[in-house]
Amino acid sequence: GESVGLHLPTLSVQEGDNSIINCAYSNSASDYFIWYKQESGKGPQFIIDIRSNMDKRQGQRVTVLLNKTVKHLSLQIAATQPGDSAVYFCAEGVTGANSKLTFGKGITLSVRP
């Protein structure tokens, strides 16, 4: 069935280094993708999204890359800071009346000072 998965359950990085979080998706009909960050006790916070007609999108310190050929999505965080420590989710959706996001399991990013 449809699924969105993450390759690694945890990621530990040194403060100041760049982080790369990967995600695989299986629904070839998905045409938009979102990365969310969830801190303890809070709901998921929107980070960045990308449509399937793009392969790269940049935000503030974050870049999302989309490779539709291999159904792969990644989130790059530049100069990782302690405040980036959280659980990160990728989500996929299909434009139309579907109006449903399918989330990956989540990966914990831990930033070492």
Partner 1 sequence: KAGVTQTPRYLIKTRGQQVTLSCSPISGHRSVSWYQQTPGQGLQFLFEYFSETQRNKGNFPGRFSGRQFSNSRSEMNVSTLELGDSALYLCASSPLEDYGYTFGSGTRLTVV
Residue 45, interface with partner 1 (CB under 8 A)? Answer: yes
Using CB under 8 A as the binding rule, the residues of this chain from 79 to 108 that contact partner 1 are 89, 91, 93-106
Contact 21, 104 (CB under 8 A): no
Q: Residue 101's closest CA among 33, 6, 24? A: 33
Only one of the segments 11-19, 21-29, 40-48, 52-60 lies at the binding site for partner 1 (rule: CB under 8 A); that segment is 40-48
Compute the least distance from the CB of residue 53 to partner 1, in Å. Answer: 13
Distance, in Å, from the CA atom of 109 to the CA atom of 79, rounded to the nearest integer, reads: 13
Residue 6: how many other CB atoms lie within 10 Å: 19
Residue 42 or 113 with smaller CB distance to partner 1: 42
Compute the least distance from the CB of residue 22 to partner 1, in Å. Answer: 17
Contact 104, 46 (CB under 8 A): no
Contact 21, 36 (CB under 8 A): no
Residue 42, interface with partner 1 (CB under 8 A)? Answer: yes
Compute the least distance from the CB of residue 50 to partner 1, in Å. Answer: 10
Q: What would the two tokens of residue 19 be?
A: 């982080």
Residue 113, interface with partner 1 (CB under 8 A)? Answer: no
Per CB under 8 A, residues contacting partner 1 are 32, 34, 36, 41-46, 49, 89, 91, 93-106
